[in-house]
Structure 1
Amino acid sequence: MHRTARTVSAALAISLACGLTACGSGGEGVAADAEQTLTVWAMGAEGEKLGAVAAEYTKANPEIDVKVTPIGWDVAHQKLVSAAAAGTLPDVMQMGSTYMGEFAELGVLEPVDTKTFDKKDFFPAGWEQGVVDGEVYGVPWYVDTRVLYYRTDLAQKAGVGKPPATFAELESMASAYQDKAKTKWGIYLQPRGLDTVQSFYPFLYSAGGEIVDENGKAVVNSPAAVGAFEQYGAFFDKGLSTKSVQPGYDPLKDFNTGNVPMFFSGPWIRTLIDEQYPDLKGKWAVANVPTGKSSTSMAGGSSLVISKDSEHKAAAKEFVAHLTSAQAQADWYRRTHDLPANLAAWSSGELAEDPGMKVFFQQMKTAKSTPTLPTWSEISASVDTALESVTQGKASGQEAAGKAQSGVEDLVSR
């Protein structure tokens, strides 16, 4: 997908359509307890699994027939744009953080009732993903963050008895893996391509850097950000991480063989290791992002939003309240292993007792969400390009940050 043209074309399509229709003019409509059909779009694996939850909800609330349509992430954006332009968005939608600014700006989302949904119930970074220009449009459904996966058996061979506490220790540990445990690489960090920035975020945020600050100003050339570029690039300069991989590369296979003994990733990897590589049991662990000025990882996940044109807003709000309650979130974790956005869901069961999940909980408490800007996809693409110039040895951290700054300044000024 050509990300530069996406926001402009979406805005144009919807503005033209709304010139002929009443986009964004829906009222409260049907009462919550009236007999009605509630339409819901959900993406990816969540879309495939939400139908069973919706069926249970309908059974408990027979007046509400919840119809879930699964949508693939590869076509989700275009389907949302087309439906928004036609005035046919569903009542409730799953929305990733990178979409939120765009669709809020287009005026097709209903603001969240903050008397019903309290930000204190959710991880701060999860809540912030639904806030655009001070208005709340999304309720956190599930969250995501990245932590460090590492081979404990190979760390023992390397003479390292604990996970790295700082980024200097991360680099030393990567060297020890190669020198003493004889691994091919010391760590995997994404060297180039789409969303390289996601691999960079732990370095950037932990250094105290940002791409765009809270005032909407480009700050990717700040001293903290420049230092993060240089620190990231050092792993490639020193041969600790590969400079080239095939598109779609997954380090898990190499993690199993030991060629890649460390990498940053999300919670779904735990399940994949258990299912695909059971022989690794007891030979790996997770740890929090090393500390710079802080230990701060990226925050991801999805929110639930309601269409501004929905005639079923009352019922939609009740369904969203159900899905984001502590009990429903704990059940959703058992079904999907998505991290609950509701803090109370972590108070019992596996989420409270599993040492690995405690690492994710701790990391999520300090995680940082990306700004909800309509042009964020283009902004992150600009940083991807800058990172590639550093990992491939074509630019210094200072030079790359300066180039990224210029591109980001142009995009935030739109």
Structure 2
Amino acid sequence: MSRIAKSVGLAMTVVSAVGLTACGSSGGKGVAADAKQTITVWAMGEEGARLQSVTKEFTKEHPNITVKVTPVGWDVVHQKLVAAAAAGKLPDMAQMGSTMMGEFISLDALEPVDTDTFKKDDFFPAAWNGNVQDGKVYGVPWYADTRALYYRTDLADTAGVTKAPTTWKEQSDLAAAYQSKAGADWGTALQPGSTGAWQGWLQYLYSAGGELLGKDGKPALDSPEAVKAFTEFGHYFDAGLAKKNFVPGEDVLKGFASGKTPMFQSGPWMVQNITDQAPQLKGKWKVVPVPADKTSTSWVGGASLVTFKDSDHKAAAEEFTKFLSTPKMQAHWYGIAKSLPANKAAWNEPALKSGGESLSAFKQSLDTAEAVPPMAKWNEFAAQIESALEKIARGADPAATAKQLQKSTEGLVG
């Protein structure tokens, strides 16, 4: 059994896989990059299926390396990775979601990245920083996503608003005008609680100048900036601009297309969804960077490429990671999967340069976005935020709720 597996197994016996500690790599140099070999890669869902076609191009350049890709559903990947770690059967490499990094760093399951080979300045800062802990880098950004504001321009015109909202006040005023002058049921779609609600709030925190963790590594969720962000979030519900009841799986695009909810915040995939599923809206909507308080600052999600410490094929895995992270290949991957490149130079490739206003909005967002810090207990930390958001959406005092949240999260980091 590998050292990682021993540590995972022990921790699962005591509590759970979250927050485990492990003790070092498998040791040894492993197989040289120029030896004939097969590397195993886990990638998520449709991306896993698409990645297999890209490996053929890699094999042309490296005929000695066979790449075996296993698609794994996003809904089961965490469970499968933890089980594989416990059994000592992790693949050589994996695509890893941004909010999963902290847990697997804490497991000591990831091989640190060679920063002479992969350069920080080649990538958007937030995409890179989400993989850094204690000065070490554990993943190479593959693609990035961030949140921006989608709004119906035709209904904004009806409401007498002719410019995109760029501040919190302008966003709030547009939401109110949609209701009072354009016949919308709700001014904006905003999830009041439950799993994932943090994704609609974090950009408020960052735009107010706040942070999830302070420089001391402790939660900073009762700071004046955090209270301001909670207050701004809550006012949409207090004013009746967003509905308080949340229905899991509700299709935000349906309300957007009907005009019942003509504004929402989401990621870049919604551009294609609107184009494909609501073609009647062509020319009637836009996506712009999130409106600003102190700044317009969204957050970065997406996925990175990681190599596991117990792999005997680290050199070949590094070659495949280099291949996937080049500007040319990241632009090619955008053409295949519509995933935004994390490598800044990829945005100078023709496929990205001709992307129009929507891509430009996300590029602006990526330039200024902040990372989600890697935390071993991120899921528990996020759940506490979501509980606080639900209370605030139902009328709880933001300052008092923030103080309670600070206490409830202090034991989740360290």
| TM-score over 0.5 for the pair | yes
Aligned ranges 1:193-342 → 2 under 5 Å: 193-342=194-343
* Counterpart secondary structure, 2:202: helix
CA-to-aligned-CA distance 1:150-170 (integer Å, 9 cap, x gap): 001001000001111110111
Q: Distance in 1 between matches of 2:280 and 2:380?
A: 41
SS of the aligned residue for 2:201 comes to helix
- SS of 2:76's equivalent in the other structure is helix
Give the deviation of 1:13 after TM superposition: 8.1
2:16 aligned residue? 9
Given the alignment, which residue of 365, 371, 376 partners 1:363? 365
- State the alpha-carbon separation in 1 of the partners of residues 15 and 331 from structure 2: 39
Q: Is the 8 A contact 2:103 2:376 kept in 1?
A: yes
Distance change in 2, residues 1:319/1:407 (3 Å): same
TM-aligned CA distance change 1:404 to 1:355, over 3 Å: same
Query: What are the Cα deviations for residues 171-227 of structure 1, in whole angstroms up to 9, with x where unaligned?
Result: 101011111111111111111111211100111110111221233111100111101
Given that 1:27 and 1:310 are in contact with CA atoms closer than 8 Å, whether structure 2 keeps it comes out as no
Distance 1:152 1:44 in 2: 34
Task: Please report how far the alpha carbon of residue 358 of structure 1 lies from its aligned counterpart in structure 2 after TM superposition.
Answer: 0.8
1:161 aligned residue: 162
- Counterpart for residue 61 of structure 1: 62
Deviations 1:294-323 (A, max 9, x none): 100111011101111111111110100000
CA contact (8 A) 1:129 1:303 kept: no
- In structure 2, relative to structure 1, the CA distance for the partners of 1:91 and 1:56 (3 Å cut) is same
Amino acid at match of 2:83: S
Structure 2 CA distance for partners of 1:84 and 1:289, relative to 1, 3 Å: same
1:379 aligns with 2:384: no
Aligned partners of 1:259 and 1:276: how far apart in 2? 16
Letter in 1 for 2:363: F
Q: Which residue of structure 1 aligns with residue 5 of structure 2?
A: none
> What is the CA-CA distance between 1:377 and the residue it aligns to?
1.3
Q: In structure 1, what residue type is equivalent to 2:323?
A: H
Native 8 Å contact 2:19 2:377 kept in 1: no
Q: 1:359 corresponds to which letter in structure 2?
A: A
Aligned-residue offset at 1:350 = 3.9
Using the alignment, how far apart are the partners of 1:221 and 1:172 within structure 2?
27
- Determine the C-alpha separation between the residues in 2 that align with 1:62 and 1:403: 58
| CA shift digits 1:272-295 (9 cap, x unpaired) | 111111111000001111111110
Moved more, 120-129 or 349-358: 349-358
Match in the other structure for 1:173: 174
Q: Is the 8 A contact 2:34 2:64 kept in 1?
A: yes
Relative to structure 1, the CA distance from residue 6 to residue 172 in structure 2 (aligned partners, 3 Å threshold; closer, same or farther) is farther
Q: What is the DSSP-based 3-state SS (H/G/I as helix, E as strand, rest coil) of the residue aligned with 1:331?
A: helix
CA contact (8 A) 1:7 1:102 kept: no
- 1:80 matched to which residue of 2? 81
Within 1, Cα distance between the matches of 2:14 and 2:156? 46
* Change in 2 beyond 3 A, CA 1:203/1:11: closer
For 1:279 and 1:250, the matched residues in 2 are separated by 17
Task: Report the identity percentage.
Answer: 53
Q: Does the 8 Å contact 1:351/1:358 carry over to 2?
A: no
Secondary structure in 2 aligned to 1:74?
Answer: coil
For residue 10 of structure 1, give the secondary structure of its aligned residue in structure 2.
coil
Change (3 A) 1:232 1:328: same
Number of residue equivalences: 402
Q: Helix, strand or coil: the match of 2:370?
A: coil
SS in 1 for 2:68: strand
Measure, in 1, the Cα distance between the counterparts of 2:39 and 2:212: 39
* Distance across 2 between alignment mates of 1:350 and 1:114: 28
Structure 2 counterpart of 1:183: 184
1:34 aligns with 2:41: no
Distance 1:87 1:13 in 2: 15
- Which amino acid in structure 2 is aligned with residue 374 of structure 1? A
Contact 1:91 1:316 in 2 (8 A): yes
| Kept after mapping to 2: 8 A contact 1:141/1:324 | yes
Counterpart CA distance in 2 for 1:70 and 1:168 is 44
Q: Deviations over 1:32-77 (max 9, x none)?
A: 1111001101112211211111123223322111000000111111
2:21–2:108 CA contact under 8 A, matched in 1: no
Q: 1:261 and 1:30 mapped to 2: Cα distance?
A: 55
Task: Tell me if the contact between 1:30 and 1:313 (Cα under 8 Å) persists in the aligned partners.
Answer: yes
TM-score in terms of structure 1 length: 0.94
Please give the per-residue CA displacement for 1:92-141, whole angstroms capped at 9, x wherever unaligned: 11111222111111111111000000000000000011112221010000
Could you tell me which runs of 5 or more consecutive residues in structure 2 were left unpaired when the two chains were aligned. 1-11
Distance 1:7 1:48 in 2: 36
1:24 CA drift (Å): 2.4
What is the rounded CA distance, in whole Å, between the counterparts of 1:241 and 1:43 in structure 2? Answer: 33
Displacement after TM superposition at 1:8 (Å): 4.4
Distance 1:6 1:170 in 2: 49
> In structure 1, what is the Cα distance between the partners aligned to 2:157 and 2:69?
49
- Over the residues paired in the alignment, what is the CA RMSD in angstroms? 1.7
Residue 358 of structure 1 aligns with an amino acid whose one-letter code is S
1:14 positional shift: 7.8
